[in-house]
């Protein structure tokens, strides 16, 4: 096999970074110069055989840069299995990267590079801790950090932390922050001036409570509980389904229907099961699914079916992926810090 490079043909096995890092530019320096505007394409086995099908021509003006800015600065960066912090690729290429440093959690990922891109990677420290503190106004507003009701949270440096601040009658505030130092965030809630939605006999929404599972028929069923002035409404997700995406949200969630003996019931096509609540006696609410009672919302049954009391004596759960709040007359639900569900009643008028 000839070692002399042709104009568009080369023995590309040792030059291609995609072929498991087999790079020998010192041996094939002239070939490398000819191939700087080409992308080596692996095809078949790793034999060093020449051929046009090993390369695809790329115009110089279509090259884009991909750079990684890291913390800590001494971290090692690998792009496409090569130790480097920047690389030029063809527009639309997929780039794989890995960032490593002693005492930090490594991070890997892939990016489709369609334009000049600089990616900032802040590794999470395994030894350094920072404290996030949320000061809310009004002072009795509920502050939830990473699923728990609390106003301060100690975490590893550079960790991403999600928080929600809410109070009935006020617009809620939620955000995700990267805690790279001790941080104090002041949140001033704005009072809701109008309520454009109502929930019929349920009254106004008051609180959100999450849960791991509920019901003795299908214990894997995920749900969360919404507290209204006149009752508790559980929203049930189908087995093996996560929270619905934004495309599943239906604003017309509440329907007037007296057939079940109650003014309102909630439904959302494909998102959760049809659920009806009827108050049988004081402080006990029954959940009906397809007309059959399978769970009662009194203290003993709530404890039995997985609900737990938090430090404030309210029912909560250990399933921390879900969180939510009441903002004005709208209910929001978050999954791992991202809004996945919102519920509104009928429009007034």
Phi, psi of 296 (to 5 degrees): -115, 140
- Asked if residue 173 lies in contact with residue 191, where contact means CB atoms within 8 angstroms, the answer is no
What was the pLDDT predicted at 71? 84
Average pLDDT score over residue span 237-244: 37
First to last CA, the chain: 83
Q: How do beta strands 183-188 and 129-137 pair? A: parallel
Q: Which residue has the higher pLDDT, 202 or 109?
A: 109
Over 50: is that where the pLDDT of 16 sits? no
Phi, psi of 76 (to 5 degrees): -90, 135
How big is the chain, counted in residues? 349
Band of the pLDDT at 79, cuts 50, 70, 90?
Answer: very high
Report pTM: 0.47
H/E stretch holding 30 reads: helix 29-34
How far apart (Å, rounded) are the C-alpha atoms in residues 284 and 280?
6
Dihedral, 241, 246, 250, 254 alpha carbons, nearest 10: 70
Least confident of 61-75, 97-111, 146-160, 223-237: 223-237
Q: Give the tens place of pLDDT for each residue, 197-235.
A: 666 666 777 776 554 443 333 333 445 667 777 666 666
Q: Which of 269, 277, 254, 278 is nearest to 330 (CA)?
A: 254
- DSSP-assigned states of every residue in 124-159: EESS-EEEEEEEEESTTSEEEETTEE-SEEEEETTE
Q: Which distant-in-sequence residues (6+ apart) come within 8 Å of 10 by Cβ?
A: 28, 31, 34, 35, 50, 54, 55
- Asked if residue 296 lies in contact with residue 286, where contact means CB atoms within 8 angstroms, the answer is yes
- Asked if residue 32 lies in contact with residue 16, where contact means CB atoms within 8 angstroms, the answer is no
| CATH architecture entry for 61-125 | Sandwich (2.60)
Over 80: is that where the pLDDT of 49 sits? no
Q: Which of 238, 240, 241, 212 is nearest to 322 (CA)?
A: 212
**Residue 221 burial (C-beta neighbours within 10 Å; 0-12, 13-18, 19+):** buried
Ranges of H-type helices in 68-217 = none
What was the pLDDT predicted at 136? 93
**Residue 334 burial (C-beta neighbours within 10 Å; 0-12, 13-18, 19+):** buried
Band of the pLDDT at 301, cuts 50, 70, 90?
Answer: very low
How far apart (Å, rounded) are the C-alpha atoms in residues 212 and 2?
66
Q: Tokens 């894997």, residue?
A: 220
What was the pLDDT predicted at 150? 83
Phi, psi of 94 (to 5 degrees): -95, 125
Over 70: is that where the pLDDT of 181 sits? yes
């Amino acid at each position: 096999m000839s070692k002399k490079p042709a104009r568009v043909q080369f023995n590309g096995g040792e030059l291609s970074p995609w072929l498991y890092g087999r790079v020998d530019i010192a041996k094939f320096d002239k070939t490398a110069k000819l191939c700087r505007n080409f992308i080596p394409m692996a095809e078949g086995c790793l034999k060093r055989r020449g051929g046009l099908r090993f390369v695809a021509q790329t115009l110089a003006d279509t090259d884009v840069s991909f750079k990684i800015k890291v913390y800590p600065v001494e971290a090692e960066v690998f792009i496409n299995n090569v130790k480097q912090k920047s690389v030029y690729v063809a527009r639309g290429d997929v780039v794989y990267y890995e960032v490593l440093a002693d005492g930090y959690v490594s991070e890997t990922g892939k990016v489709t590079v369609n334009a000049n891109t600089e990616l900032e990677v802040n590794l999470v420290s395994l030894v350094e801790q920072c404290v996030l503190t949320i000061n809310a106004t009004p002072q009795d507003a509920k502050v939830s950090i990473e699923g728990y009701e609390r106003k301060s949270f100690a975490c590893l440096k550079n960790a991403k932390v999600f928080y929600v601040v809410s109070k009935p009658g006020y617009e809620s505030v939620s955000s995700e922050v990267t805690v790279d130092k001790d941080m104090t965030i002041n949140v001033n809630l704005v009072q809701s001036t109008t309520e454009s939605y109502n929930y019929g006999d349920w009254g106004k929404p008051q609180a959100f409570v999450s849960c791991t599972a509920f019901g003795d028929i299908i214990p894997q069923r995920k749900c969360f509980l919404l507290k209204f002035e006149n009752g508790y409404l559980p929203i049930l997700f189908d087995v093996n389904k996560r929270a619905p995406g934004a495309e599943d949200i239906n604003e017309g969630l509440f329907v007037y229907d007296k057939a079940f003996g109650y003014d309102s019931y909630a439904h959302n096509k494909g998102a959760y099961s049809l659920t009806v609540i009827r108050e049988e006696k004081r402080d006990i609410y029954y959940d009906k699914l397809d007309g059959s009672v399978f769970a009662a919302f009194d203290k003993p049954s709530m404890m039995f079916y997985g609900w737990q009391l938090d430090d404030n004596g309210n029912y909560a759960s250990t399933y921390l992926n879900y969180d939510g709040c009441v903002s004005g007359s709208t209910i929001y639900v978050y999954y791992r810090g991202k809004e996945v569900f919102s519920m509104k009643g009928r429009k007034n008028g």
